[in-house]
């Protein structure tokens, strides 16, 4: 039986696995890419006949298909041995297949440069979350206590491009949100407002403004498919703005909020925030520039009232007229203050 709902069973021979992890407990999920092949079933067939215990627990196809080739009760043969330059927190002197659960992702490019499809991404993220929950593996970047790592962390010489351009930021945003479904251009209603602009960019159909990079990743993972970034934040009102006083920072205004890509937290560091977060609207770089303009208009109006009061005092009109004028100015003053 498979360990993940909907997975296709294509298990490797028994001598290609490490039963019971040889008494160890897996503490890492390892992300791989295939550097070849076109379907998850093709990769599974290769594992079924491959020498040297080559195998992974799961393979995620570009169409979102998940194939299981090794039971989660046993170690797979995807990782093995540390290479020079490996992540310093990994334990030395043991076969890392005994501490790891491996997920392959189909990538037909030999350099693993093909981006994950939306279907592949959704399937991968949900699978990672399920494995972490089942085995009590930390849902974060790996450290000495476990977590999620890439094959390149183990073998940076021979597997430097594995898993290549896997979308790590999006994965951790998904996990940090509790696994809420990310939106894409196929989410109902989203295509009415956005179109694919290429190179990982979304173009707003209503004003031509573009969202991309870290801000787009935040926008996609904000909420879920029913209550998403489009619902909460709205459409973009500007393209990215790059404040000169904060190199490496990008700010973008939306109808209902302001987002900032600030990986080093130069502007702010809200609790639990990642590379992108929402900004204060009434102070700092996130403040709407129209507030400054309105504040200046109010100050000008107040100054004009003071000037008129002074001029009126110089005219020495009849007492009745002076009282009427002063009262009129007093009536005008609160109205200005409401601007």
- Give pLDDT, residue 332: 61
Domain range summary for the chain, segments of one domain joined by +:
8-176, 190-286, 290-337
Whether the predicted pLDDT of 202 surpasses 60: yes
Work out the pLDDT band at 207, boundaries 50, 70, 90: very high
Q: Which two tokens stand for residue 115?
A: 């981006």
Domain at 8-176: CATH code: 3.40.80.10
Total residues belonging to the chain: 339
Residue 226: CB atoms within 10 Å: 12
Whether the model clears a pTM of 0.75, i.e. scores above it, the answer is no
Inform me whether the pLDDT recorded for 321 exceeds 90. Answer: no
Average pLDDT over every residue of 20-24: 95
Helix (H) or strand (E) holding 258: strand 257-261
Helix (H) or strand (E) segment spanning residue 149: strand 147-150
Number of C-beta neighbours around residue 225 at 10 A: 16
H-helix or E-strand spanning residue 59: strand 58-60
Residue 314: band (very low, low, confident or very high) from pLDDT cuts 50, 70, 90 = confident
Closest CA to 97 of 168, 32, 7, 50: 32
What band does 51 get if pLDDT is binned at 50, 70 and 90? confident
11 cis-preceded (ω within 30 degrees of 0)? no
Which range among 108-117, 225-234, 327-336 shows the weakest confidence by mean pLDDT?
327-336
Nearest to 192 by CA among 202, 180, 182, 181: 202
Q: Residue 155, SS3? A: coil
Pairing, β 194-198 against β 201-204: antiparallel
> Residue 147 above 70 pLDDT?
yes
Average pLDDT value over all residues in the chain: 86
């Amino acid at each position: 039986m498979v360990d993940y709902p909907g997975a296709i069973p294509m298990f490797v021979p028994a001598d290609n696995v490490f039963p019971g992890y040889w008494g160890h407990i897996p503490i890492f999920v390892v992300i791989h890419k295939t550097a070849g092949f076109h379907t998850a079933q093709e990769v599974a067939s290769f594992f079924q006949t491959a020498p040297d215990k080559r195998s992974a627990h799961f393979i995620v196809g570009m169409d979102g298909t998940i194939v299981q080739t090794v039971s989660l009760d046993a170690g797979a043969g995807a990782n093995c041995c540390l290479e020079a330059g490996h992540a310093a927190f990994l334990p030395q002197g043991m076969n890392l297949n005994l501490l790891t659960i491996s997920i392959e992702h189909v990538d037909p490019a030999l350099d693993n440069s093909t981006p994950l499809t939306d279907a592949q991404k959704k399937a991968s993220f949900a699978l990672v979350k399920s494995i972490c929950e089942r085995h009590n593996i930390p849902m974060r970047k790996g450290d000495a206590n476990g977590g999620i790592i890439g094959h390149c962390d183990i073998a940076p010489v021979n597997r430097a491009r594995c898993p290549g351009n896997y979308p790590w930021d999006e994965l951790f945003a998904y996990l940090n949100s509790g696994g809420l479904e990310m939106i894409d251009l196929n989410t109902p209603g989203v295509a009415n407002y956005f179109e694919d602009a290429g190179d990982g960019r979304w173009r707003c159909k209503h004003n031509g403004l573009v969202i991309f990079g870290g801000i787009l990743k935040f926008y996609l993972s904000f909420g879920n498919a029913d209550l998403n970034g489009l619902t909460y934040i709205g459409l973009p009102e500007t393209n990215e703005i790059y404040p000169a006083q904060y190199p490496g920072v990008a700010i973008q205004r939306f109808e209902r909020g302001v987002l900032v890509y600030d990986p080093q937290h130069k502007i702010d560091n809200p609790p639990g925030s990642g590379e992108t977060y929402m900004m204060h609207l009434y102070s700092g770089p996130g403040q709407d520039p129209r507030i400054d303009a309105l504040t200046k208009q109010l100050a000008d109006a107040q100054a004009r009232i003071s000037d008129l009061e002074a001029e009126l005092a110089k005219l020495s009109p009849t007492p009745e007229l002076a009282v009427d004028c002063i009262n009129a100015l007093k009536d005008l003053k609160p109205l200005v203050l409401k601007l």
